[in-house]
């Protein structure tokens, strides 16, 4: 097994099928320790009309995708989306990390059924905007199964004190008892502080407001 595979700058590993009579797209197998895709790179076994192929990734440590994709999609027709497997379902072994940063793992179809996505890893990290799916526009959706151990976060939790927020005075007189609305609300609002524009006048805490007579007297003294 090679230790590292890096694909970047829109690099591709692809196999495809262009016609319905041509059979499904071929299979791709990556037996590498640390496959890394970045900068628009892709591993694809897509089809135009027939079924998508199969992509198998057998990593040892980390699978990393950044702005990249692994796909077995079917663009049109009744072909089924292909299968994507990261790890080894037979032995239940997988990588230490699978990391998706603005990336896609897709086994989609149009009229046919969606494919299947299986991920076995110790740690599955996915950013906002990343996609893992096996769907179909008009057929049955496929299967997405991610096997990762449960994370124990109890050590990072803090027990709040009993008087952290006392809402008894609001609970005794709920909103529906003080208004005509058949519902209650619990809201915590913060004050919005906006800076004063440089061109505005500043208010003094000890400003004296002079009457019109005092203003005239003061004006005559200065004159």
- What is the reported pLDDT for 196? 58
pLDDT at 71 over 70: yes
Q: CA 175, CA 187: separation in Å to the nearest integer?
A: 11
- What is the reported pLDDT for 152? 45
- What is the reported pLDDT for 76? 84
- What is the reported pLDDT for 200? 60
CA 114, chain centre distance (Å):
21
Per-chain mean pLDDT for the chain: 78
Contacts of 152 (CB under 8 A, 6+ apart): none
Residue with tokens 């952290």: 164
Strands 95-101 and 131-133: unpaired
- What is the reported pLDDT for 150? 47
Q: How confident is the model at residue 151 (pLDDT cuts 50, 70, 90)?
A: very low
Q: CA 216, CA 222: separation in Å to the nearest integer?
A: 10
HSE of 21, CA atoms in CB hemisphere, 13 A: 0
User: Mean pLDDT across the stretch 11-39?
Assistant: 85
Q: How confident is the model at residue 119 (pLDDT cuts 50, 70, 90)?
A: very high
* Weakest mean pLDDT among 2-16, 78-92, 156-170: 156-170
The Cα angle at residue 162 between residues 158 and 166, in degrees rounded to 5: 120
Higher pLDDT, 16 or 22: 16
């Amino acid at each position: 097994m090679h230790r590292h595979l890096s694909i970047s700058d829109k690099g591709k590993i692809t196999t495809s099928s262009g016609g319905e009579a041509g059979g499904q797209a071929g299979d791709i197998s990556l037996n590498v320790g640390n496959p890394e895709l970045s900068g628009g790179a892709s591993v694809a076994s897509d089809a135009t009309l027939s079924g998508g192929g199969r992509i198998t990734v057998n990593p040892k440590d980390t699978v990393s995708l950044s702005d990249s994709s692994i796909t077995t999609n079917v663009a049109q027709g009744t072909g089924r989306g292909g299968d994507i497997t990261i790890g080894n379902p037979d032995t239940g072994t997988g990588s230490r990390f699978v990391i998706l940063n603005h990336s896609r793992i897709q086994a989609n179809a149009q009229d046919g059924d969606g494919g299947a996505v299986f991920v076995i890893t110790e740690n599955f990290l996915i950013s906002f905007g990343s996609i893992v799916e096996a769907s179909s526009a008009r057929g049955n959706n496929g299967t997405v199964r991610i096997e990762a151990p449960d994370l124990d976060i109890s050590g990072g939790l803090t027990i709040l004190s009993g008087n952290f927020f006392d809402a008894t005075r609001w609970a005794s007189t709920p909103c529906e008892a003080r208004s005509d609305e058949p519902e209650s609300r619990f809201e915590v609002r913060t004050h919005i502080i906006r800076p004063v524009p440089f061109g505005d006048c500043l208010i003094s805490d000890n400003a004296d407001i002079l009457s019109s007579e005092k203003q005239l007297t003061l004006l005559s003294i200065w004159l």
